[in-house]
Structure 1
């Protein structure tokens, strides 16, 4: 067995509905170019009433593990900032839905959009100790902002499930990473609010400062130049934000870094919106699914979570990686969403419930898993 540890396989899922940003722009009397060019976004996924982070995670994870029936998962890490319970891990709900055995460590990680990367780093450490085992890391989130707020066009939903193992088929994560933490109130969601609060300019500034700070820490610990990175995968709250961070890195290093180094990674996020913890990993999926042959190429990952925590790390794409990918399925997942108009979107948003009183949810989604409601303050799910 080699010393390589990393992402052996991945699978993505999103929500049932999709809202074109043209519809939002028309309803608000805004030039659509403000969204398409100003934010770099075209559409965003909208969950049905019987969908949440658990159902999307279960859809992605079940598809992933179906390709690996002889898997050796001994740990599940569920990364989310859209938790469904203040105590019980969303991963435990997931564990039951996808039929894992009892002898599995299961936890939930939270630090805004960064938590998926924290989960991967923890998984790498686990595999270093137990190389014959595997870790299932799932990043799943729903970005739901207040109606008529500045953040409304940057909503979205999605989940990415990743199998972390030794001798990975997709991307071997290299040792050493750059870290950055600062106490910044750029984005937060108090316990008594179902939608977050954001300071837009501060958030952009904090994101760029964290990007450069994690890069500086990385280069202080490892001899690697920015030109040694073949493609960059940035966290993408909206794709224009990633472009600005990429330009800031170029200015910071004094090296011209063209848009071709990030362009392919942004194709999915433009269509599904912000998926918080899953955002950067949808970027990875899009980059791996692109036509460019990445065999042996180094990917640079900038992971950011408001508040703020950031990390820069690298990974090398493995030989034969294309044989393990199904780009057509990812495109079909996006194409299968039911397009809705603005009044339908608004009704769905206003009908969102956070109470734990008893209620039933009628079937809508055709996905394999659905949220059926609450009984005796317990959330219930069904397998289709």
Structure 2
């Protein structure tokens, strides 16, 4: 029985900040960001957006009435949690009107969490093929202002429905994991911004990938030459090039069959969005599926997921015939094209002065996405369906 990704959907904030503008503020050559790390824009959430509103916005288009009745589990993966106790997925469960007979949990292991969710979901569906699992990866990547990490910030969410006989991607059974304790990236409980040892994190990422690849092969995985398409976790898109080079150099004979085309289409969305932690790998996968002009039917894709601290996993999948009919390519590309650029002042205010941290706060209406954070009452977050578009239509008439 085939199990894998039946539907997939993206949601990003309506605003972005240009990396060329950030370079100017930092007093450096913009090419250091545009080409050095491979980033053009960072997605910036408005004060009434957070990981919950982005997650619900990503899931809304793929949670049809038929799917809603079949969802047995919601797993929300994030390292930008809004509560130390309550799963952010429960807010999403309520906003989407999912049935009560449904388990909801939140997964955390840096940027790896969504892969743990995906692998657990495939095993659950193999046991109960009549059920579907909703996975959402939602994050806001945030670093100290004027730090070296600021240029790799971003925000976004990616939702997937995992089912038997999927319409987009069949996941293969072979998996290779590698975990060990290292402090390359961390965020203490009393910090909004992440801490990172950048060079160490790159080294650990690459070594984790090599070890996970070896474990994948030992588990019966494909040879490298049998994986014509590759997706890597992208804290910044240039990292994918480093990963590709390291992987092909570890398999010199097999690697000769591959070129940069193997992964380049997976970078297009990430360059426009920035780092999205748990969603990053899967936004890369979506970018590959929606931007590669070739017909990928029945072709294999190799995927490497990495979460600092650290856990790495290499796995693979094959593309299902007719997959393009079930993608939302036009909507996603229009979503990215329609965003508005922010000034440095507004970007700084929105990204670094969170109103949601206040004990009581009514949030200004800024987002036009399907859901928004309406207010905070005694530290309780209150979400609702966004009526901003309805108000605009009423005023125009």
What SS does the aligned partner of 1:192 have? coil
Separation in 2, partners of 1:353, 1:202: 34
Separation in 2, partners of 1:313, 1:8: 18
What SS does the aligned partner of 2:174 have? coil
Q: CA deviation at 1:326?
A: 2.1
For residues 178-197 of structure 1, the aligned pairs below 5 Å read 178-197=176-195
Separation in 2, partners of 1:318, 1:356: 47
Q: CA deviation at 1:233?
A: 0.7
Separation in 2, partners of 1:13, 1:68: 22
Q: CA deviation at 1:67?
A: 7.9
For residues 151-170 of structure 1, the aligned pairs below 5 Å read 151-170=149-168
Q: CA deviation at 1:130?
A: 0.6
Query: In the alignment, which residue of structure 1 is the partner of 2:264?
Result: 263
What SS does the aligned partner of 2:129 have? coil
For residues 259-298 of structure 1, the aligned pairs below 5 Å read 259-290=260-291, 291-298=293-300
Q: CA deviation at 1:66?
A: 3.3
Aligned length: 382
Change (3 A) 1:352 1:242: same
Match of 1:238 among 236, 239, 244: 236
Give a deviation string over 1:102-138, Cα, whole Å, max 9, x none: 0001000000000000000110111011100100000
Q: Is 1:29 the counterpart of 2:30 in the alignment? A: no
Match of 1:352 among 351, 354, 358: 354
Separation in 1, partners of 2:313, 2:68: 32
For residues 208-223 of structure 1, the aligned pairs below 5 Å read 208-222=206-220
Separation in 2, partners of 1:333, 1:67: 24
Maintained 8 Å contact 2:290/2:327: yes
Give a deviation string over 1:294-318, Cα, whole Å, max 9, x none: 0000000100000010100000100
Query: In the alignment, which residue of structure 1 is the partner of 2:394?
Result: none
Change (3 A) 1:70 1:305: closer
* TM-score where L is the length of structure 2: 0.94
Query: In the alignment, which residue of structure 2 is the partner of 1:370?
Result: 372
Match of 2:127 among 122, 126, 129: 129
Query: In the alignment, which residue of structure 2 is the partner of 1:44?
Result: 42
Query: In the alignment, which residue of structure 2 is the partner of 1:381?
Result: 383
Query: In the alignment, which residue of structure 2 is the partner of 1:174?
Result: 172
Maintained 8 Å contact 1:65/1:71: no
RMSD of aligned residue pairs (Cα, Å): 1.2
Separation in 1, partners of 2:55, 2:78: 10
Query: In the alignment, which residue of structure 1 is the partner of 2:248?
Result: 250
Q: CA deviation at 1:354?
A: 5.8
Q: CA deviation at 1:356?
A: 4.9
Separation in 2, partners of 1:131, 1:69: 13
What SS does the aligned partner of 2:37 have? coil
Q: Which runs of 4+ in 1 moved over 2 A?
A: 66-71, 353-356
Q: CA deviation at 1:70?
A: 6.1
* TM-score where L is the length of structure 1: 0.97
Give a deviation string over 1:5-47, Cα, whole Å, max 9, x none: 0000100000121011111011111101000110011101000
Give a deviation string over 1:324-374, Cα, whole Å, max 9, x none: 112111111111222112122112223224635111111100011001121
What SS does the aligned partner of 1:262 have? helix
Q: CA deviation at 1:90?
A: 0.4
Separation in 2, partners of 1:70, 1:320: 23
Separation in 2, partners of 1:71, 1:278: 25
Query: In the alignment, which residue of structure 2 is the partner of 1:101?
Result: 99
Q: CA deviation at 1:69?
A: 5.2
Separation in 1, partners of 2:315, 2:67: 30
Query: In the alignment, which residue of structure 1 is the partner of 2:321?
Result: 319
Q: CA deviation at 1:223?
A: 5.0
Gaps of 5+ in 1: none
Query: In the alignment, which residue of structure 2 is the partner of 1:57?
Result: 55
Separation in 1, partners of 2:91, 2:61: 17
